[in-house]
Every structure is written in C-alpha cells, then in structure tokens.
C-alpha cells in the first residue's frame, strides 16, 4: 500500500512540477489571472456595492450564490455530525460527581440517590473526581468572553471596510461559546445555548441568506440581486447592495456560530451531551 | 415568473431543507409532507424548463443580476434539461418509495435525515444546472458532505465505508478544484462559456492540458472509474437502503454528466480530444472498468453488492463512450446517463423492497420470490432486462449507440468489452431469476402444491417501483425523440 | 546554478504547494491511523489554498481594500495593478469553510468508528472485520 | 522577488506539516497541526490575502484544533504511525 501510494504521489507531484515551468512567475502582474476578470472587480467593486473591501464585495455580491452554498455546507456539516453521532442517554443511569464548593470535598452519588439541584450555589457537578477547581481559568474566561463577542460583532459589521465578515465573525462568536464550554463545563454551556436553539438558529441563519435572495426574486429582480431591496429599505441601488451585503453577513454569522457550536457539542461529548472536554 | 425558474430549481429544495430541519425540532409530522412537496415542486419546475428549452433553446440565468463573466450563471440547455428531470424524478420516486423505511429507521432524526436528503439533491441539481466552474465545486462538496452522512448511519460497516468514501471524495473534489485553479491561471475566468470562448487561442497550452488531466482525474475518482473504484461497493452496499436508492442512481451519473460538461463546454471538444494518447488511455481504463466490474459482480453472493459492481461496469460504459470522441459515442454516453439513472433507481428500489420484507439480500434467501412478491419482481425483471440490453427497454438503445460508436472509432477493445459485459449481465441476472422463480420457496414445501402465499410489500413501496420500471420502457420507446430533439443538439458542431 | 536560482525563487510557492500536496496525499493513502489520515487530508486541502493564494499575488501591489474617501469620486481612477487580485481570495474563503466542514464530518465518523471497533488503526479494524466474516 | 522571510515561513510550513504527520501521539499531532495552520496563515497574510489569513487563523488554528482535540479526547492518543 505504501509503495503504491508513493508511486501515485510521485507521479502526480512529478507531473505538476514538470508543468510548473509553464506557469507565470509568482507575483507576475501581467498573468491572465490578474488581467482578465479581476480588474473589473477592483475598478467597479466599490462603486457598485459601496464596500471598499473588494473581497467582501465579490464574496457577498458578485459571487453571492457561492457564498450561500458555503453557508449551506457548514449547515450540512452540522446536520451530518448531529445525524451521525447524537444518541440519547437516560439521565441518572450512572453515578455523578459533585464538588462541595466551600470545602472542596468531592461527593460521588450513585444512581437512585438524591442529587443536589442543578443551579445550586454550594454543589457543582463535575465530569470526574480529578477535575481541579480552576478559579483562575474560569474568571479569566469570564473576563475575556465579552470582549471576544464584541470584537466578533465588530468583525461582522465592519466586513465592508476591513478584513472579516460574516464567516470570521461567526467563528469568533462560536469560539467564545466554546471557550465557555471548556472553561466551565459542557452542561452549563448547553444550558445557556441549547442544542435546539443551535439547530434552529443554524437554519435561521441560512434562511436569512436564502430568504433575502428569494425576497429579491419576489420583488421582480434576479435571485440575490439586492438592488431590488432598495425601495424597501428606502435607499438607492448602490446602498441597497451595501445593505444587502450586511444582511447576508448577519445571516452567515448566525448560521456559522450556531453550527460550529453544535458540531463542538457533538464532537466533544461523542454525541451524548453530558460531559465535554 | 417563468424567467426565474432556473433559480427556483435551487431555492425550492434549499428553503424546504431548512424548513424540514427546523420542523424536525418542532413537529416531526410535517417533515415528510414538506419534503415530498418540495421535491414535487422542483420536479414540476424542471419539467417546465425542459419544455421551455425544447421550444425556445437554452436559457441563461444570471444570479444576482451580474452578467456572465462577472457573476455566476445558470445555464439550462439541451444537455442538462433532460438530466435535471431524471435526477429530480429519481429522487422523488425514491423518497416516496422509501417513506416506510425512513420513518422506521430514523424516527428520532427524521428531520435531519430528510434535510440531508434534500440538500444532497439540491447539490446534485446545482451541479447539473450551473454554468460556473467554481460553483460546481461548491455544489459538489454539498452533495458529497451530505452523501457521507446519509451513508454513515447504515449497517455495521457503514461508518468505515463512509470515511473511506470521504477520503476518496475529498481527493476527487480537491483535484477538481486544483484543475479549476490551473484553468484560472491560464484564462483568468471561471465562467464556463467564457473559458470556452478563449480556448481557440490557447490550443497548445501545456497548463490547460494539465488542467484537463487534473480535472478529469478528480472526476474519475468521484465517479469510481476502475482503478479508483475501491470505495464504491462498500459505501453503497452498507448504506441505509433509502440512501442507497438516492445516491447510487445519482452520484456516478451526475459525475459523468460533469465530465461531459467539463469536456465539451469548458475545454472545447477540439482541445479535449486533441491528444490521442489521453483518449486512448482513458478508453482502455474504461475497458478495464467494464471487464473488472463484470467479473467482480460475478463473484458476489449478495444482491446489493452485486449491483454495486454492475455500477462500476456501467461507469466504464459512459466514460468509454464519451472518450471515443465521435458523435455516436458521445450520444450513447449521454443517453446512458439518463437510462442508467433510471435502471439503477429501479434496481435499488427493488432491492430495498426485498430487504424490507426478507431482511436479507443473500442469494440463498431469494428463493421463491416470484411467488411471494410478484409486483416487486416485475420491476426487478424489467430493470434487469434493461441492464442486459434487451430491445424494448431503454438499456438496449444506449448500448447500441455505444457499440456503434466504438466500431466507428475503431476501438475494438471497447466493443468486445461491451459485448462481454452484456453476456455477464445476462448470466448474473438469469442466475437470480432462476433462484427466485424455479427453486421452491424455502418454507413452503410442507404445504399444498400452490406455492408460497403472496406477501407483497406495502403499496407505497411497490407503486413507485412499478412507475420507475415502466419508465424504462417509456424511455426506450422515446429514444428517438430524446436523441434527435435534445442530445444531438447538445453536442457541439465540431465533432464528427 | 545562476540560472536555477531565479527560477526556483520565481516558482518557489508552486514548488512548496506541490510538496505539501504530495505530503498530504501520501498521508491520506498510506497512513494507518484514521486521525493522521484526516490531518493529511487537511494538509492536502490547505496546499491547494496556498496555490490559489499564490495565483492572486501581484508584485508591488497592496491589499484589495480600496483606499480613498469612501465615496468613489474623491480620488483618481483605481488602477487594478495596484491591488492584489481579490477573486482567488474569495474562492478560497469558500474552500476553507468546506475544509472545516469536511473535518467535522470526518472526525464524527472517526469517533463512530472508534466506538464500534475500539481502535483507530486501519489494519486492526480490517483484521476485526475479517475475524467477524470468518466466524 | 520574494523576500527571505516568505521563503523561510513556507519552509517552516512544510516542516511542521511533516511534523504533524510524524508525531507518534495524536494530541501532539493536533497541536503541531495547529502550528502548521498558523504558519500557513502567516504566509497568506504576507502574500496579501488578509481575509483568507483571518479565516485560517480563526478556523484552522482555532476551531479545527478544538475539533481534533475533542475527537482525540473521545478516542485514543496512541497511534502506531
């Protein structure tokens, strides 16, 4: 198998390296790739969409249809992970660990015993008896998470002007929730942002995108042609495209955040949603 | 509204997939009707597009209102309009036929399953309809990713088969993406029509030739052409049968369609068939696929596994026919995309019905099946006759074109392989007929001489199967129209 | 040597991308451990992204974010040669998203396989499958 | 002409890629792979693909690593190759 792989790989690589000489030099401004289509985007992008970051303009407007499917891919991955891994477990089918916070004593309660209430301030549930009580980590994360979230919102909203946009912002928002899940525990994270909410907001995010496109279609323009939204928003065609980009970026951010968190829930608990990393 | 139909083809399944997945969390009873309605709607749209194309020629739809090289376009022409109808009809029939099984097997995850099913389909529809080379990659990934999930929750070996499929699928899609990169570096555009406009000036380009090889390699991996076919039998035979009935008829066929599209529309035929050595090599690979697929099919002792190797051989038919490079061969390959989708659908639906009743598809368990499930077996027999290539069914006509094309091109190896494979198919299926018809029913021998009692599967499974089987004859009868009114018009004038 | 050096520098990115692609492809086919294969798959995908990003690069050009007063009229006409080609970047954002989606699904399948066979080594799994078939 | 730092980072990318595949511990592999992604992100940022680099920093070095670690946590760290 290894020899076969080596032969296949060397053949492919050799073929490609052999043809590298035909390629234009690295950074050649006169290569066909840089002269045929891309000048249009650079020269008209800002005028057409009012978004100085041309990557955002191309991503969300000129090739917005690709991006819709990019979001759908993420959503499909979330569905796939849920579909493959999720399994229901009956509560109370195995012993649980609790820590008595004032003393630091760990309690092991067998199934059938009385468990402390979920939101008790004295007892906290743990995944296993060796989980340390990391007060520094918890408090640092508590401080950092709001800033990550605000930064993520900035990235989403400022995608027109600087690197970033819905996808990056969505990943950052998801990272904040994942950080919470790691520093505290998965159950508390699920308590705040449940699986059902994640699944529904994943659908909702993609729906905002596709729905905005379909709305343009209902208003008589082509699919995803945000100019049609102009009369509705009370702005001219160029600003309508700019607002259209913002709307779909919000949809992408929502979908990506929800789905990445959803995938994390399923992967980190192997589908049981009881204890995480 | 009619001018927006190409977009509706995608929007209807996409929006309903979202709705179905949301309904899975709110009220599961709505999932199935919604899914059926959306597929029915998309099917109606595709039929109306076919009528429009036949009446008024190709339709170009500009997404987001940007004109072709700048934005993404959808192009419905003579080549893909019939393929769209077949793809949607196959998925629709399979969904109805598999209702009972889906609801029994995935009750908790019904919403997710149906959403994945529809997303898979919207990926496939998009691949067929798109006029943008990169958009095709994105849609390919949607279809693949959902496909892995649909396969992964099957019988015991399903996760491993699915992961292997994922590795091979990713290699294939990434190679395709790389090929697009080389096309982009040579032409600077991603729109298929725009690329083909530039091809005459770039006839001698080494970069584009490399791009052609890489793209084709990627698509060959995805369609499981002979040396890269290892993932297919495991993935399809271990998949849940509702998924197998969706993925088996569509994936390989749509990939062959993508190959035809890349060969004819992106790289014009003049370029694609300009290097004889490439065409020769690929035809011989196809011959290898046909022979190996047929021989491996003979060795199997399970019905579904046997059929997966028949698919491997059928891929060889289509790839070989296309790379013959003449009009007859390409006509045969394109016609076979449609016919083979219908045949595979019928076969897999029949197997699904059989396993639902018997719980197994091993050859020794099939005894007396004609008496027990007569309607299912009618469908199975029709499909088997089509695969063998018996005249009134559609399989005969596409095979006829392929063989004629092979003779015209002087590719005798391909002709012999086709005839050999027909012979092997006859052996394969008549062996099953013998087991299912002549041998006594295993438990019936103690009773009177009337044979086993009939115990047919529910009508919701059998009726779609019969419809699919009848479509094989209908497709056969209308072959002339399909060829002269659609496929002949789709083939560029440059091909002899 | 004097001829070779500029040639290598001019195509260095393409060489590196080919090497990375070969590494990834080899790992996907030849490695025995499923997680290693998945990592190889990601290396393979990032290699292709590197290729696209290299296509987009232009010497002496700046980021594809138009500088100016933001109203499109206050500065001279935009010279396309001053800005890096934005189209491949946009395509590669999609490709990165696809790669993370594939990674998630692949890891989910790997967890499922581990749950079933208790190992991630491919030869051990095949051995177990053969044992089951033999019984 | 490409700058030396560009060449250096690309070389490091290859080294860390090989490293991620050679480490005989899956958790280690996940972390080295994260380093690989981060170096790749630097290379892209140098080439002016800031959006791509941003995404790779968030996805490749961040989320992918978390996914890998989560998967390794639920399977095994040991590997034969």
Query: What tens-digit pLDDT sequence spans chain B (496 residues)?
Result: 678 888 888 899 999 999 999 988 888 888 899 999 999 999 999 999 999 999 888 889 888 888 888 889 999 999 989 999 999 999 999 999 988 888 888 878 888 999 999 999 999 999 999 989 999 999 999 999 999 999 988 777 889 999 999 999 999 999 999 999 999 988 888 899 888 888 888 888 888 889 999 999 999 999 988 888 888 988 888 888 889 999 999 999 999 999 999 999 888 888 888 888 888 999 999 999 999 999 999 998 888 889 999 999 999 999 999 998 888 999 999 999 999 999 999 999 999 988 888 888 888 888 888 888 888 888 999 999 999 988 888 889 999 999 999 999 888 999 999 999 999 999 989 888 888 877 665 554 444 445 556 777 888 888 999 999 999 999 999 888 888 888 888 888 777 6
Apex CA A154: angle with CA A150 and CA A155, to 5°?
Answer: 115
Under a CB-based contact definition with an 8 Å cutoff, are residues A237 and A227 in contact?
yes
CB neighbour list of residue C85: distance below 8 Å, 6 or more residues apart: A33, A34, A38, C55, C56, C57, C58, C64
Q: Which two tokens stand for residue B414?
A: 């391909």
A49 strand-pairing partners:
none
Report, as an integer, the average pLDDT of C90-95. 91
Quote the CA–CA distance of B3 and A222 in Å, as a whole number.
9
Tell me the Ramachandran region of residue A124: left when phi exceeds 0, alpha when psi lies from -120 to 50, beta otherwise: beta
Of A5 and B135, the one with more pLDDT: B135
- Look up the ipTM and state it: 0.92
- What dihedral do alpha carbons D35, D39, D44, D50 form, nearest 10°? 60
CB contact under 8 A, B63 and A37: no
**Chain B residues near residue C125 by CB distance under 8 angstroms:** 160
C33 touches chain D (CB under 8 A): yes
**pLDDT averaged over chain C?**
83
Mean pLDDT of D54-61: 89
Q: Whose structure tokens read 């308590």?
A: A191
Where is A176: in which H helix or E strand?
helix A166-183
Distances (CA, A) of B374 to B15, B362, B392, B431, B447: 40, 18, 21, 17, 20
- A150-159, A188-197, B232-241, C63-72: least confident range: C63-72
Q: Which of A173-177, B133-137, B402-406, C13-17 has the lowest mean pLDDT?
A: C13-17
* Residue D58 sits at the chain A interface (C-beta within 8 Å): yes
Helix (H) or strand (E) holding B328: helix B327-358
Question: How high is the pLDDT of residue A253?
Answer: 93
What is the reported pLDDT for C71? 47
At residue A191, the pLDDT reads 85
Q: Which residue has the tokens 């080379």?
A: B133
Mean pLDDT on D62-75 = 90
List the single residue in C32, C57, C96 with the smallest CB-CB distance to D48: C57
Q: Are residues B384 and B471 in contact, defined by beta-carbon separation less than 8 angstroms?
A: no
Q: How far does D17 lie from chain C, in Å, by closest CA?
A: 7
Model pLDDT, residue B363 = 81
Domain boundaries, chain C: 4-60+82-134
Q: Which of A24, A73, A207 sits opposite B145 (nearest CB)?
A: A73
pLDDT at B176: 94
Please tell me the predicted confidence (pLDDT) of residue A236: 84
Concatenated DSSP letters for A30-81? TSHHHHTTHHHHHHHHHHHHS-SBHHHHIIIIITHHHHHHHHHHHHHHHHHH
DSSP 8-state symbol, B420: H
Angle between helices B394-409 and B327-358 (to 10 degrees): 140
pLDDT score, position A131: 65
Per-residue model confidence (pLDDT) at position A130: 62
Are A77 and B145 a contacting pair at CB < 8 A? yes
Cross-chain residue pair D80–C53, CB shorter than 8 Å: no
Any CB–CB contact under 8 A between C50 and chain B?
Answer: no
Q: What CA–CA distance (Å, rounded) separates D26 from C40?
A: 13
C89 chain-D contacts, CB cut-off 8 A = 49, 51-52
Cβ-defined contact of A223 to B113 (cutoff 8 Å): no
Which has more confidence, C76 or B373? B373
- Predicted local distance difference test score (pLDDT) of residue A90: 61
Question: What does DSSP assign to residue B201?
Answer: G
User: Please, what's the largest Cα pairwise distance for chain A?
Assistant: 76
Render B206-223 in DSSP notation, one character per residue: HHHHHHHHHHHHHHHHHH
Identify which of B253, B257, B231 has the alpha carbon closest to the alpha carbon of residue B330: B257
Pairs of residues, one from chain B and one from chain C, whose beta carbons lie less than 8 Å apart: 65
Q: Give residue C73's pLDDT.
A: 46
Average pLDDT over residues D22-38: 92
Contacting subunits of D (3+ beta carbon pairs below 8 A) = A, C
Domain boundaries, chain B: 284-496
**Distance of alpha carbon B112 from alpha carbon B102, whole angstroms:** 11
Q: From the CA of C6, how many Å to the nearest CA of chain B? A: 21
Q: Is the Cβ–Cβ distance between A218 and B12 less than 8 Å?
A: no
Q: The domain at C4-60+82-134 falls in which architecture?
A: Orthogonal Bundle (1.10)
Query: Do residue D40 and residue C31 have CB atoms under 8 angstroms apart?
Result: no
What pTM did the predictor assign? 0.93
Q: How confident is the model at residue C2 (pLDDT cuts 50, 70, 90)?
A: low
Q: Specify the higher pLDDT residue, B87 or A94.
A: B87
Q: How many whole angstroms from its chain centre is CA C102?
A: 12
């Amino acid at each position: 198998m290894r020899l076969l792989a080596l032969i296949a790989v060397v053949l492919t690589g050799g073929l490609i390296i052999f043809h590298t000489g035909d390629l234009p030099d690295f950074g050649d401004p006169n290569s066909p790739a840089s002269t045929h289509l891309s000048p249009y985007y650079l020269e008209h992008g800002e005028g057409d969409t009012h978004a100085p970051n041309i990557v955002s303009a191309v991503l969300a407007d000129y090739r917005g249809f690709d991006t819709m499917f990019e979001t759908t891919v993420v959503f499909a991955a979330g569905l796939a992970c849920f579909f493959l891994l999720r399994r229901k477990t009956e509560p109370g089918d195995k012993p649980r660990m609790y820590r008595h916070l004032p003393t630091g004593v760990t309690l092991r309660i067998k199934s059938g015993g009385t468990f402390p209430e979920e939101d008790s301030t004295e007892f906290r549930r743990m995944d296993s008896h060796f989980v340390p009580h990391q007060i520094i980590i918890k408090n640092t994360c508590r401080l950092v998470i709001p800033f990550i979230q605000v930064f993520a919102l900035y990235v989403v909203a400022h995608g027109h002007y600087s690197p970033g946009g819905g996808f990056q912002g969505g990943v950052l928002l998801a990272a904040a929730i994942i950080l919470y899940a790691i520093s505290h525990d998965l159950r508390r994270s699920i308590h705040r942002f449940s699986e059902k909410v994640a699944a529904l907001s994943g659908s909702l995010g993609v729906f905002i995108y596709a729905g905005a496109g379909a709305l343009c279609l209902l208003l008589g323009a082509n699919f995803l042609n945000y100019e049609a939204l102009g009369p509705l928003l009370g702005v001219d065609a160029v600003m309508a495209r700019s607002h259209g980009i913002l709307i779909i970026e919000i949809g992408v951010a929502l979908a990506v955040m929800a789905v990445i968190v959803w995938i994390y829930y399923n992967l980190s608990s192997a589908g049981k949603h009881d204890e995480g990393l | 509204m009619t001018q927006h139909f190409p977009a509706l083809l995608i929007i209807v399944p996409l929006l309903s997939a979202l709705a179905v997945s949301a309904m899975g969390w709110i009220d599961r009873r709505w999932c199935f009707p919604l899914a059926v309605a959306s597929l029915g709607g998309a099917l109606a749209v595709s039929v109306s597009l076919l009528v429009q194309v036949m009446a008024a020629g190709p339709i170009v739809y500009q997404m987001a209102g940007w004109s072709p090289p700048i934005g993404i376009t959808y192009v419905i022409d003579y080549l893909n309009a019939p393929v769209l109808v077949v793809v949607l009809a196959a998925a629709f029939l399979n969904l109805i036929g598999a209702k009972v099984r889906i609801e029994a097997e995935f009750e908790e995850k019904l919403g997710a399953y149906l959403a994945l099913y529809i997303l898979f389909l919207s990926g496939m529809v998009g691949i067929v309809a798109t006029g943008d080379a990169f958009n095709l990659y994105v849609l390919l990934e949607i279809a693949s990713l959902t496909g892995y999930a649909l396969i992964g929750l099957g019988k015991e070996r399903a996760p491993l088969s699915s992961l292997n499929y994922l590795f091979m699928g990713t290699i294939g899609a990434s190679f395709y993406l790389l090929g697009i990169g080389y096309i982009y570096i040579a032409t600077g555009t991603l729109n298929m029509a725009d690329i083909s406009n530039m091809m005459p000036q770039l006839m001698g380009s080494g970069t584009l030739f490399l791009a052609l090889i890489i793209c084709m390699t990627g698509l060959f991996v995805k369609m499981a052409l002979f040396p890269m076919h290892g993932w297919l039998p495991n993935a399809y035979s271990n998949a849940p049968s509702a998924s197998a009935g969706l993925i088996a008829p569509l994936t390989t066929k749509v990939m062959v369609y993508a190959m035809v599209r890349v060969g004819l529309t992106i790289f014009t035929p003049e370029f694609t068939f300009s290097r004889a050595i490439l065409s020769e090599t690929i035809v011989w690979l196809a011959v290898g696929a046909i022979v190996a697929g047929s021989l491996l099919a003979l060795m199997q002792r399970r019905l579904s596994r046997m059929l997966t190797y028949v698919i491997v051989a059928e891929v060889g038919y289509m790839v070989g026919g296309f790379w013959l490079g003449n009009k007859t061969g390409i006509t045969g390959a394109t016609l076979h995309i449609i016919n083979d989708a219908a045949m595979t659908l019928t076969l897999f639906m029949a197997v699904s019905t059989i396993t639902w009743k018997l719980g197994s598809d091993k050859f020794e368990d099939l005894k007396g099946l004609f008496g027990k499930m007569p309607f299912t077996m009618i469908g199975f027999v029709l499909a088997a006759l089509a695969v063998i290539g018996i005249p009134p069914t559609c399989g005969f006509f596409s095979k006829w074109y392929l063989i004629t094309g092979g003779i015209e091109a002087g590719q005798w190896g391909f002709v012999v392989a086709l005839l050999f494979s027909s012979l092997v198919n006859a052996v394969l299926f008549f062996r099953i007929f013998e087991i299912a018809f002549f041998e006594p029913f295993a438990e019936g021998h103690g009773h009177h001489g009337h044979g086993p009692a009939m115990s047919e599967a529910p009508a919701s499974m059998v009726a779609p199967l019969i419809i699919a089987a009848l479509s094989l004859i209908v497709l056969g009868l209308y072959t002339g129209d399909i060829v002269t009114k659609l496929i002949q018009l789709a083939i560029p004038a440059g091909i002899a | 040597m004097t001829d070779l050096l500029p040639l290598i520098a001019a195509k260095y990115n393409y060489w590196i991308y080919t090497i990375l692609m070969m590494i990834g492809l080899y790992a996907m086919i030849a490695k025995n451990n499923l997680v290693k294969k998945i990592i190889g798959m990601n290396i393979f995908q990032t290699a292709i992204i590197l290729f696209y990003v290299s296509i987009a690069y232009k010497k002496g050009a700046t980021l594809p974010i138009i500088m100016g007063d933001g109203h499109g009229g206050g500065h001279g006409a935009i010279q396309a040669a001053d800005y890096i080609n934005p189209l491949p970047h946009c395509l590669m954002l999609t490709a990165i998203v696809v790669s993370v989606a594939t990674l998630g699904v692949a890891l989910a399948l790997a967890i499922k396989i581990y749950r079933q066979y208790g190992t991630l080594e491919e030869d051990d799994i095949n051995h177990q499958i053969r044992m089951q078939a033999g019984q | 002409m490409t700058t030396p730092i560009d060449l250096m980072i690309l070389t490091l990318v290859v080294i860390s890629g090989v490293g991620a595949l050679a480490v005989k511990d899956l958790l280690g592999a996940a972390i080295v792979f994260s380093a690989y992604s981060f170096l790749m992100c630097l290379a892209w940022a140098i080439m002016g693909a800031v959006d791509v680099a941003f995404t790779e920093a968030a996805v490749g070095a961040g989320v992918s690593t978390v996914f890998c670690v989560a998967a390794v946590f639920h399977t095994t760290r040991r590997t034969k190759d």
